[in-house]
Structure 1
Amino acid sequence: MTKQTGGKRWGRKATGESAQVRDGRPRRSRRNTFREDEDLEEQINFSDIKRIGVYLKPYLKQGAVILAAVLSMSAIAVAIPYLTKTMIDTVIPSKDPVKLFTLGGVFLVAIVVYELLLRYRTVAITRVGQLMLKDMRRDLFTHIQTLPFSYFDSRPHGKILIRVVNYVNTLSDTLSSGLINVIADIFTFLLTLIVMFLIDWRLTLWSLVLMPLLVVYVLFLQHFQRRAYQRLSNKQSNLNAYIHESIAGVKTTQTFVREREQFQTFQEQQGQVRKYWMKAVHIQYLMWPGVQNISTITIALIYYLGITGMGGVQVTTGMLIAFVGYANNFWNPIINIGNFYNQLITCSAYLERIFETLDVRPEIEDKPGAVELPPIKGRVDFNDVVFKYEPDGRNILNLVDFHVPAGSTVALVGPTGAGKTTIVNLLSRFYDVSEGSVCVDGYDVRDVTLSSLRRQMGVMLQDTFIFTGNVRENIRYGRLDATDEEIVEAAKAVHAHEFIMELPQGYDTKVEERGSTLSAGQRQLIAFSRVLLADPRILILDEATSSIDTRTEEALQAGLAHLLKGRTSFVIAHRLSTIEHSDQIFYIDHGQIIEHGTHEELLAKKGAYYRLHESQYAMIKTANGEEG
């Protein structure tokens, strides 16, 4: 039944420390708390920015229409100064009212069309941007559902939550307006430059004299700005993680009267957010004044050259006014492009976190060629199983070997940390073995699809989870097509029906998040009903009755007797009274099965199980004596 010899010290990693190689550089999410900052990349990863294109692709047709409208606006913006030049230099001196009213009408139509296009652009770009954000948030949420338990164990849940909500929201302006508008700004810039050269090439070259200064200024700022927003994203993540932890532990905080200490830690965390927010803002707002000052100096230079004629520049009044308008058209796109680059630098810090999450590969997934597990009978075989969490870590299970016939009930007992839960986690394939194999009806669990394996298993954990909704919906979660009659039948089988009917609206009673309005025992009974409703062939009960009082537990055992019959069941329990009638009892210690047999056989051996049984029996007698 068991083997207890040592095993080789190698295995597959099964933690959340997944490294992803991106552009030849490994990206690793290390374990951290709300007091620790996450790792930062030194340089902008432009592959992150390119990946936004994946979310733009489904909306290319809409984007093309929006771009056409935006380019039309740019063309109107370029035409207006030329029309102004024509009005001042030609139409007004000619004193021709027909030309004057005609050109005025052209002005009016151009402005109306421009405003209509502006409204369309604003609404359409916002719609496409929000659809892109929806797709990105969908991908994040869907991907997170596939990640292993170890991913969530290795980092605060608040740091995961902020990526799905806050960081995606931060991209809103960039995706809503930046991508298409920057194309239009580049078009406007080039078109304006061409017209300026056609009007006066000398004055145009003078207009570009400060351009190198602008390029140097922008490149100088971008490094500091990105680092500032990376640090800010870390502090926001830490604060979010702390708030999430504090809300989850508020009952403990109030029980030990630690509100003041919690508040002080909160103040420290939000103080860090404010500090780095202000640093980021100070750097960000150096961009706009710098570009604006260079623009103003350039326009002043144009006026000076136009008035003095220095450098061979000879212009009319209308040409000078038009040229100043073109200078604005020339510098406004540059300012907009600078602002977009500004946004891009800011967003790169958040994109880094978003795509880092999307790049974490599920450690447990269907291998190529995995087959559907057919309806099973429930035979389970552990064949010389060795398991370790880290490749160079210690063995959690060491050559565990046992074979359970279909329909048998097996109890796993032993001290905390002995490996009991690990055994059932390997059976459900929440982790993969390091050596050996786990088979169900002769199928290696690694060779079948996860969905077909887990559909035929029912797992009841000690830490039960109740979703927001009513009692009926929580039980139906085990099988979504179950009828109300089947739900009631499952609840009756585990003796949950009695307390459910005493609730204000019975099965329609609303329960709050995590079932906070129910007792621990009530939550477990509802979760038990949910598992049994799924009608699994293999049933796993991991300390499933730990929060149920003795009287309820006795009734529960009686109700479960016929349901366990014909199923393969693995029961982990510290109360030995709940597993006395098991077909086999495995006593596990230090990752090995050191004793196995029926309750009577193990008592007769007077080994580890016998000592555990006697210890519990003595405690019960002492408690009964004190109560008497």
Structure 2
Amino acid sequence: MSVRFQEDEILGKTYDASLIRRLLRYVRPYRGATGLAIALLLLASATDLVGPSLYRIAIDRYILPGSVNAGPAAADLRGVARIAALYLLILGIGFGARWLQSYLMQFVGQRAMTDLRMHIFGHVQALPVAFFARWPVGRLLTRVTHDVDALNELITSGVVAIFGDIATLVGITAVMLWMDWRLALVVFSVLPLVYLITERFRVRARDAYRAVRTRLARINAYLNEQIMGMTVVQLFTRERQSLRAFEARNDDYLQASLAAQRNFSRFYPEIQVVGTIAIALLLWYGGGQVVRQAVTLGILVAALQYADRFFEPIRDISDKFNLFQAAMASSERIFRLVDEPITLRDPPDPVPLPRVQGRIEFRDVWFAYEEDEGWVLRGLSFAIEPGQTVAVVGHTGAGKTSIINLLMRFHDPQRGEVLIDGVDVRRVRQQDLRRHVGLVLQDVFLFSGTIEDNIRLGTAAITDERIRQAARYVGADRFIDVLPDGYRTEVQERGARLSVGQKQLVALARALAFNPEILLVLDEATSSVDAETEALIQEAMGKVLRGRTSIIIAHRLSTIQHADRIIVLHKGRIAEQGTHRELLDRGGIYAKLYRLQYKDQERAG
């Protein structure tokens, strides 16, 4: 189980320039909107800087004008009114700028993340079948949903907001130094303390984030394992032990989360206290300066306002730090998936395969699923002539299904060649190759939707009549016609409304509707159905396999007795081959398998 959450334990840098550059590629198509959003944010930050300066002008010129600007009270009130009106106008401009900036960044973020999701899904579709045996489905779903949403938060609320925070800090610093550099230095005197608090928070937040992510990954891995094995848990009454183990992991996660929250909850008040100290020092020093008439009251009031606003971006750093950590971790995981190599690629100059006769040849094929594992197929050589029906049998692990995987080019052999009509399948585009192959697996997968949708699979060229004809061929119409909505009956997720046998019939009808020109491969398609349904499928197979090259892989030897040839595999090699009668007369592996199954059938009888 530790392997499952190992990836989520890895936490990259809080800020990784290379990852940011890769993310910006998805934002680049919308750089116009992004640039406008940044400009609007800078405008909004500038409007925030105007307010305290207007206070200073109102106080020094119109509320306490002094002897130089003395005038009638009416003039003073008109001046205050003008300042108030100007302030409202600037606030309105700031509100409009922030609203439009927020909308633009949401637009950019959603568009960029839509492009990223499409890129991820397109890349996942191109990955070899072997990849999906290594990556849990839940992890892939998390990459496309949760991790992409974390990046969306970074784009819409993180990266651009930093420009506004920097502009605010720089602007306040410049204005305060311009108004009175002595008052500015009083405020800046607490910055070393701010740095120490922020650095301590950063280090602790990083460790706390790592701890939380690790423990959450452990909970996810444990939940996945327990839910997948719930039948075993209930069968052996392990509910109480499983609950205690989950409680321990859940409590561990709780403690890590509380530790992280303690760190976050301390940072904001600490910065608040430091900011209050700065304002108190400013009030003490600036008040003395006002009494000594070294500065005006308006300057002091403006300085107090600027000092309070100066610490707002610093106080918000805790939220942005957490956002950056989540986004960097998510981007690292996403790009690890995107960087997963596509090992099975179409050739640069593919051989066209518009039609095939159906001759299949395996020529000295050696194959292993992993380089460091043993050979599954060892020097396998055989040929199937057009229109022949060949069955492949053998013990579990003999390499039967590997033949199908190589023929469909779900994998490539390490040595040797797999040929169709004399052409190596690696020289043909994968879509062209699979267009000629109908494959029905033992574990049938049906998508959410109707029976009709599952037979057609979105191919507009397959008409309703062709769907019904395929269903009649395999006998699926017998149960489809009695359903309330017939071919438009919703099968629900993974075909939950249908029995195993009915799903097999729908899968066979799907293969026939696509009408593979002369090649049909069945992989134990009848091994999980009842006798009546098996009879229906066998009857349909007798019709549709006539004139087609076919490979049948089945455990039950009763279904392949009429095959033109039977190949018996043993430890990745051909042990024997011939017709059903020839192999029985030979008294080899096939005869032993047949006798064992015949005895089992007699006992069952």
* TM-score, length of structure 2 as denominator length: 0.90
Q: How many angstroms does 1:39 deviate by?
A: 4.7
2:497 maps to 517
- Tell me what 1:26 maps to: none
**For 2:473 and 2:234, how far apart are their aligned partners in 1?**
38
1:21-420 matches, within 5 Å, as 32-33=3-4, 38-41=8-11, 43-44=13-14, 45-92=16-63, 93=65, 94=70, 95=73, 96=75, 97-243=77-223, 260=240, 263-309=243-289, 314-336=294-316, 339-420=319-400
Q: How does 1:471-620 map to 2 (within 5 A)?
A: 471-477=451-457, 479-536=459-516, 537-620=518-601
Relative distance call for 1:521 and 1:39 in structure 2 (3 A) is same
Q: Is the 8 A contact 1:55 1:136 kept in 2?
A: yes
- Map Cα deviations across residues 286-336 of structure 1 (whole Å, 9 max, x no partner): 4433333332222222222212349x9942211011112222333223334
Q: Distance in 1 between matches of 2:112 and 2:462?
A: 36
Check conservation: 1:495, 1:556, Cα contact below 8 A.
yes
Aligned residue for 1:51, secondary structure, equals helix
Q: Counterpart amino acid of 1:364?
A: L
**Within 2, Cα distance between the matches of 1:216 and 1:457?**
67
Q: Which amino acid aligns with 2:567?
A: F
Per the alignment, in what secondary structure is the counterpart of residue 569 of structure 1?
Answer: strand
Q: Which moved more, 1:342-351 or 1:362-371?
A: 362-371
Aligned partners of 2:309 and 2:367: how far apart in 1? 67
Q: For residue 344 of structure 1, report the CA deviation from its aligned partner.
A: 0.7
Structure-2 change in CA distance of 1:271 and 1:431 (3 Å): farther
Within the candidate set 466, 473, 490, 2:446 is matched to 466
**Aligned Cα root-mean-square deviation (Å):** 2.7
Q: Secondary structure at the match of 1:511?
A: coil
Q: CA deviation at 1:201?
A: 2.1
Post-superposition shift, 1:216?
4.0
In the TM superposition, what is the alpha-carbon distance from 1:234 to its structure 2 partner?
3.8
Question: What amino acid does structure 1 have at the position aligned with 2:541?
Answer: L
Cα pair 1:157 1:241 within 8 Å, conserved = no
The structure with the greater share of residues assigned to helix is: 2
2:602 is matched with 621
8 Å CA contact 1:189, 1:334 repeated in 2 = no
C-alpha displacement of 1:452: 1.8
Give the 3 Å change call, closer, same or farther, for CA 175–547 of structure 1 in structure 2: same
CA gap 1:403/1:283 in 2 versus in 1, 3 angstroms = farther
Contact conserved, 2:183 with 2:282, CA < 8 A, in 1?
yes
Other structure's SS at 2:363 match: strand
Note the alpha carbon deviations across 1:141-196, whole angstroms, 9 max, x for none.
Answer: 33333333333322432232222222333344322222222112212222222222
On the 8 A contact 2:439/2:521 being kept in 1, the answer is yes
| Residue 426 of structure 2 is aligned to residue 456 of structure 1 | no
Identical-residue share of aligned pairs (%): 37
The amino acid that maps onto 1:79 is V
Deviates more, 1:193-202 or 1:120-129: 120-129
Cα deviation, 1:245-265, whole Å, max 9, x if unaligned, reads: 555565666666665555455
Give the 3 Å change call, closer, same or farther, for CA 617–443 of structure 1 in structure 2.
same
Deviation readout 1:500-524 (Å, 9 max, x if unpaired): 1122222121112111221111111
Which amino acid is 1:533 matched to? A
Counterpart CA distance in 1 for 2:164 and 2:362 is 64
Instruction: Give the letter aligned to residue 21 of structure 2.
Output: K
User: Secondary structure of the equivalent of 1:539?
Assistant: strand
- The 3 A distance-change label for structure 1 pair 253 and 474 is farther
Question: 1:587 deviation in Å?
Answer: 0.3
Q: Secondary structure at the match of 1:324?
A: helix
Distance, in Å, in 2 between the alignment partners of 1:215 and 1:559 is 78
SS state at 2:309 partner: helix
Which gives a bigger RCO, structure 1 or 2 (Cα 8 Å, sep 6+)?
A: 1
Distance 2:352 2:187 in 1: 70
Unaligned runs of 5+ in 1: 1-29
Cα distance in structure 1, aligned partners of 2:281 and 2:117: 49
Deviations 1:367-407 (A, max 9, x none): 44445543322222211111112223211111111122222
Structure 2 letter corresponding to 1:532 = L
Letter of the 1:484 counterpart: D
Secondary structure at 1:601's aligned position in 2?
helix
- Partner Cα distance (1:512, 1:79) in 2: 60
Identify which of 394, 403, 418 aligns with 1:438: 418
With over 3 angstroms needed to count, the CA separation of the structure-2 counterparts of 1:322 and 1:165, relative to structure 1, is same
Specify the code of the residue in structure 2 equivalent to 1:549. Answer: D
In the aligned structure 2, how far is the partner of 1:525 from the partner of 1:231? 50
Q: Which 4+ residue blocks in structure 1 deviate beyond 6 angstroms?
A: none
The amino acid that maps onto 1:47 is S
Residues 430 and 574 (structure 1 numbering): CA distance in 2 closer, same or farther, change over 3 Å? same
Q: Which amino acid aligns with 2:118?
A: R
Q: 1:223 & 1:544 partners in 2: Cα distance?
A: 58
SS state at 1:394 partner: coil
Report the Cα distance in structure 1 between the residues aligned to 2:427 and 2:42, rounded to whole angstroms: 55
Deviations 1:101-140 (A, max 9, x none): 2222211211222223333333333333233333333333
Deviation at 1:268, TM superposition (A): 4.4
The one-letter amino acid of 2:513's match is L
Distance 2:316 2:401 in 1: 58
Q: What amino acid does structure 2 have at the position aligned with 1:233?
A: R
| Structure 2 letter corresponding to 1:575 | R
For residues 564 and 2 of structure 2, the distance between their equivalents in structure 1, rounded to whole angstroms, comes to 42
Q: Give the total of aligned pairs.
A: 593
CA distance in 2, matches of 1:440, 1:392: 29
Structure 1 residue 241: deviation in Å? 4.7
How many angstroms apart in 1 are the aligned matches of 2:374 and 2:183? 76
**1:570-614 deviation per Cα after TM superposition (whole angstroms, max 9, x unaligned):** 111011111112122110010111111222222222211111112
Aligned with 2:126: secondary structure?
coil
Deviates more, 1:325-334 or 1:536-545: 325-334
Q: Secondary structure at the match of 1:57?
A: helix
